[in-house]
């Protein structure tokens, strides 16, 4: 990796000094992979105009975004195979509609950043009206219009082609029931819970309930599964380590006493703490048990580059890192980087619906 990084550095330095011609296509990196490698060694690469405005112009976000473009709703996102270049001041957008009858529709296009930053709006006026305007006294009218009711999520992101809903299915494995697991679940499981200000106390309570339900699915003990839990916002807070609690009763009691902190979302510090403190032998990491890290978050971190770097380091000590995103404020690139692969990514609309993914999640945790 060091040799590759050095070669990439030499290549990019040569480009920035005008020794190598840029591609003829407009607003493209000379070598995007080289830019990514160099960024690992020089995180502030984009503050250097020689790179940000020449050899790594797209990597540094100085090009108009390329986005999927299907302004007419599609039932299957794979049917959207057209793309477009956004105008100045636009970002990639996806609208995901879940109708009362269970079917899904998707709109993918460019959208003004101002809209994405402050406006929550749905499909009304685009594919049909909401079923809010009916006579509440007329039950037949309610039934007639019920199929029109829509649950709409608006997602915006600022990475090329990030508005494809790759997260709408949590995993390719078929739904199965969770537990019991005949081969046991000998895992060291670390829960990493976002308790930043955007989460709120009520949602944080749902996250703790979610952990409680997962723990109920497995046998706890030194010869079975052991757990650790950390919350994070401005700073990480370790609630207990892998060798601290050895029964479900102890874990249940500890969950009742996990405080909500509030603050900003320093996911990078959380991932570093998991790797350097929680997944260590002195804090209970067992050599004969596979490590599983489950990260819950409602949005993007405050330091994307460092978060991706720390995620890569974490993968070296845990082959199963699971990302669970709640809501629509995620950064797709960051979320995918945290997870081991796309089969380790779960997406739910609200904290209160976390229980809907438990059956599939348990299959990933226990590798059944």
Distances (CA, A) of 209 to 106, 173, 196: 31, 25, 17
Distances (CA, A) of 5 to 72, 126, 201, 227, 364: 44, 48, 44, 37, 34
CA 262 to chain centre: 19
pTM of the model: 0.56
CA–CA distance, 252 with 208 (Å, rounded to integer): 10
Residue (of 304, 293, 361) closest to 337 by Cα position: 304
pLDDT, tens digit only, all 368 positions of the chain = 444 444 444 544 444 433 333 333 467 777 765 776 676 567 677 778 877 788 887 777 778 888 889 999 988 777 787 888 988 888 888 888 877 777 888 898 998 877 776 544 433 333 333 333 333 344 444 344 444 445 677 777 766 677 776 543 333 343 344 455 645 789 999 999 999 888 889 999 999 999 999 999 999 999 999 999 999 999 999 999 999 999 999 999 999 999 998 888 899 999 999 999 999 999 999 999 999 999 999 878 888 889 999 999 999 999 999 999 887 666 777 888 899 988 898 888 888 889 889 988 998 998 75
Distances (CA, A) of 324 to 101, 167, 265: 26, 10, 15
CA–CA distance, 284 with 310 (Å, rounded to integer): 21
Contact 45, 39 (CB under 8 A): yes
CA–CA distance, 296 with 294 (Å, rounded to integer): 7
DSSP class of residue 23 equals P
How would you classify the pairing of strands 345-348 and 90-99?
Answer: unpaired
Q: For the chain, which residues make up each domain, given as ranges?
A: 2-55, 66-157, 187-366
Give me the pLDDT at residue 118, please.
54
Residue 348 φ/ψ, nearest 5 degrees = -130, 155
CA–CA distance, 346 with 171 (Å, rounded to integer): 7
Averaged pLDDT of the chain:
77
CA–CA distance, 35 with 8 (Å, rounded to integer): 8
Peptide bond into 180 cis (omega under 30): yes
Tell me if the domain spanning 187-366 has CATH number 3.40.50.410.
yes
Strand ranges (E), the chain? 66-68, 70-74, 83-85, 90-99, 104-112, 150-157, 187-194, 226-232, 236-240, 290-297, 320-326, 345-348
| Per-residue pLDDT tens digits for 340-359 | 988 898 888 888 889 889 98
CA–CA distance, 325 with 311 (Å, rounded to integer): 15
């Amino acid at each position: 990796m060091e040799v590759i990084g050095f070669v990439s550095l030499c290549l990019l330095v040569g480009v920035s000094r005008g020794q190598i011609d840029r591609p003829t296509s407009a607003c493209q990196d000379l070598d995007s992979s080289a830019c990514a490698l160099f960024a690992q060694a020089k995180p502030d690469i984009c503050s250097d105009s020689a790179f940000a405005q020449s050899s790594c112009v797209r990597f540094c976000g100085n090009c108009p975004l390329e986005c999927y473009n299907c302004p007419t709703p599609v039932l299957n996102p794979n049917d959207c195979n057209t793309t477009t270049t956004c105008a100045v001041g636009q970002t990639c957008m996806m609208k995901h509609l879940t109708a009362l009858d269970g079917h899904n529709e998707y709109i993918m296009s460019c959208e003004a950043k101002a809209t994405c930053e402050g406006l929550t709006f749905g499909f009304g006026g685009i594919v049909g009206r909401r079923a809010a305007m009916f006579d509440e006294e007329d039950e037949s009218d309610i039934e007639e219009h019920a199929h029109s009711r829509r649950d709409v999520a608006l997602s915006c992101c600022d990475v090329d082609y990030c508005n494809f809903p790759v997260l709408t299915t949590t995993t390719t494995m078929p739904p199965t029931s969770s537990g019991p697991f005949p081969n046991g679940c000998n895992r060291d499981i670390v829960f990493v819970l976002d308790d930043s200000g955007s989460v709120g106390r009520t949602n944080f309570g749902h996250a703790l309930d979610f952990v409680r339900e997962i723990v109920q699915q497995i046998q706890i003990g030194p010869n079975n599964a052991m757990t650790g839990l950390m919350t994070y916002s401005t700073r990480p807070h370790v609630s207990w380590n892998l060798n601290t609690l050895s029964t479900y009763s102890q874990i249940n009691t500890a969950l009742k006493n996990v405080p909500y902190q509030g603050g900003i979302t320093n996911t990078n510090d959380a991932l570093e703490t998991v790797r350097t403190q929680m997944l260590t032998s002195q804090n209970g990491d067992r050599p004969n048990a596979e490590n599983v890290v489950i990260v819950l978050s409602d949005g993007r971190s405050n330091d994307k580059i460092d978060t991706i770097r720390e995620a890569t380091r974490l993968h070296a000590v845990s082959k199963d890192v699971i990302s669970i995103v709640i809501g629509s404020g995620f950064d797709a690139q960051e979320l995918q980087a945290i997870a081991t692969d796309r089969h380790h990514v779960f997406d739910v609309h609200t904290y209160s619906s976390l229980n809907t993914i438990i059956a599939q999640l348990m299959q990933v945790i226990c590798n059944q």
